[in-house]
Structure 1
């Protein structure tokens, strides 16, 4: 049996000291949003408690689906790198970047440089995404939907070039009978699309899955716990989102902080997969198992 933990939307806090010269363009509106809304909704104490609980599960691998930072300031990117090192060794942790990690042009490239081995793996060519991590019969396929956007937009993008590479990767891994788990920050299912924060190319992503299949798709971005599905060639593919890992109780915008733990096992010619959701309730101070369900 292999255990896979999923955590997302870390949004490390508190916000570092910010100089006026750092608040040009989109960072200005993002800074105002943090000060007026988010600084009470997302906090480091909640995140620390959740991560401590997650570590006690001793998962074989941990997937982080992005938004490590808030404004992608250089100091935030460096701090996120240190946070990843504290979370676990890069051989057992990987990141699919989010829109906040690519908040302005050049930020994602800096994150790739500093987070290094946490955002790399096996690839078809020199292109960074998608990359693959293999743990026994589990294959984690990390895609990127992270692109810089204009103020007031939080959209992602999945283009034809990445779709072509993902199709080849899924075909190879499917032929080798891996449990293929695809990571992407923005949800690809049609129910969660919106002009200002959806995924451009979500239909293209679903076409790849419809043709080549996958066993599981994990995302963040919405700050909500969610379970949907999209069509595959043989069966519906579960699409599972997780609440923001730093979301405080009592917040008005998000579900309280949570993470998911998947137990995956080969059973003859098929798979057994059980998901457990751990985190805070809206009432009470303890981290509890909120949900257990069989996926396969």
Structure 2
């Protein structure tokens, strides 16, 4: 049996001291959005409480599906690296990057250098994504939809080269009998697409899953708890999103902070996977188990 935790959209706060020279291009609109809308909605106290609760569980591995930072300032990227070190060792945690981690050109490369092994694993060639982490019979496959975009856009991109590599990985891991869990920051299902914040290449991603299959897909980005599915080669594949890990309980824009915990074990020729969602509710002050359901 393997216990897999899923958190996303960390958005570490407070914002570091920002000079006007830091606010060129897209960072200016992002900073104004933070000050006017987000800075009361996302906070470090909520995040700390949620992580403390997660760490009290018997977790074998944690998947972090992106957006550790806000404007991808150098100080934010460095602080996110320290936060990951406090969360746990590199062999217990994998990160797939989000759009805020690639907020401006060069930001993702800086994160890859600073966060190191948290953003690495087994690969088929010299492409950084997807990479694979194997934990017992679990294969965590981390894709990247993170690309810099113009102001007021938060779209992601999944392209042909990454699709080709993902297909090969899914085939190899499937033939070897692993429970294949795919990480991607932007949701790939058609219900959650939007011209300003959806995934370019979502149809391509679904084609790869339809051809090669997977057991589970985890994403962030929406700051909402959600469960959908997309067709796979062996049947419907659950697509699970999670609320932002730093989302304040009294916020008005997003679901309160939550994380998911998946209990995965083999049963005969198939799998059993039970999902439990923990976090805050609109009312009350405690972190509770909000949901338990079997998804395999």
> How would you bin the TM-score normalised by the shorter chain?
over 0.9
How far apart, CA to CA, are the structure 2 residues paired with 1:245 and 1:260?
Answer: 10
In the TM superposition, what is the alpha-carbon distance from 1:126 to its structure 2 partner?
Answer: 1.1
After TM superposition, the score normalised by the length of structure 1 is 1.00
Confirm whether residue 294 of structure 1 aligns to residue 294 of structure 2.
yes
In the TM superposition, what is the alpha-carbon distance from 1:166 to its structure 2 partner?
Answer: 0.2
How far apart, CA to CA, are the structure 2 residues paired with 1:108 and 1:151?
Answer: 17
Q: Tell me which residue corresponds to 2:246.
A: 246
3-state DSSP of counterpart to 1:165: helix
In the TM superposition, what is the alpha-carbon distance from 1:281 to its structure 2 partner?
Answer: 0.3
In the TM superposition, what is the alpha-carbon distance from 1:233 to its structure 2 partner?
Answer: 1.1
Deviations 1:164-217 (A, max 9, x none): 000000000000010000000000000000000000000000000000000000
Q: Tell me which residue corresponds to 2:114.
A: 114
Q: What aligned pairs does 1:205-220 form with structure 2 within 5 A after superposition?
A: 205-220=205-220
Confirm whether residue 24 of structure 1 aligns to residue 24 of structure 2.
yes
After TM superposition, the score normalised by the length of structure 2 is 1.00
Q: Tell me which residue corresponds to 1:130.
A: 130
In the TM superposition, what is the alpha-carbon distance from 1:250 to its structure 2 partner?
Answer: 1.6
How far apart, CA to CA, are the structure 1 residues paired with 2:49 and 2:34?
Answer: 22
How far apart, CA to CA, are the structure 2 residues paired with 1:263 and 1:150?
Answer: 40
Q: Tell me which residue corresponds to 2:64.
A: 64
Q: Tell me which residue corresponds to 2:272.
A: 272
Q: What aligned pairs does 1:4-83 form with structure 2 within 5 A after superposition?
A: 4-83=4-83
3-state DSSP of counterpart to 2:255: coil
In the TM superposition, what is the alpha-carbon distance from 1:276 to its structure 2 partner?
Answer: 0.2
In the TM superposition, what is the alpha-carbon distance from 1:12 to its structure 2 partner?
Answer: 0.1
In the TM superposition, what is the alpha-carbon distance from 1:58 to its structure 2 partner?
Answer: 2.4
Q: Tell me which residue corresponds to 1:155.
A: 155
Deviations 1:243-262 (A, max 9, x none): 00000012111000000000
3-state DSSP of counterpart to 2:90: coil
3-state DSSP of counterpart to 2:203: helix
How far apart, CA to CA, are the structure 2 residues paired with 1:211 and 1:37?
Answer: 41
How far apart, CA to CA, are the structure 1 residues paired with 2:126 and 2:211?
Answer: 25
Deviations 1:216-257 (A, max 9, x none): 000000000000000011110000000000000121110000
User: Structure 1: where are the runs of 5+ without partners?
Assistant: none
Q: Tell me which residue corresponds to 2:189.
A: 189
How far apart, CA to CA, are the structure 1 residues paired with 2:292 and 2:85?
Answer: 29
Q: Tell me which residue corresponds to 2:262.
A: 262
How far apart, CA to CA, are the structure 1 residues paired with 2:233 and 2:10?
Answer: 34
User: Structure 2: where are the runs of 5+ without partners?
Assistant: none
Q: Tell me which residue corresponds to 2:281.
A: 281
Q: Tell me which residue corresponds to 1:177.
A: 177
How far apart, CA to CA, are the structure 2 residues paired with 1:241 and 1:26?
Answer: 26
How far apart, CA to CA, are the structure 2 residues paired with 1:31 and 1:268?
Answer: 52
How far apart, CA to CA, are the structure 2 residues paired with 1:206 and 1:250?
Answer: 35
Confirm whether residue 230 of structure 1 aligns to residue 230 of structure 2.
yes
Deviations 1:133-183 (A, max 9, x none): 000000000000000000000000000000000000000000001000000
3-state DSSP of counterpart to 1:162: helix
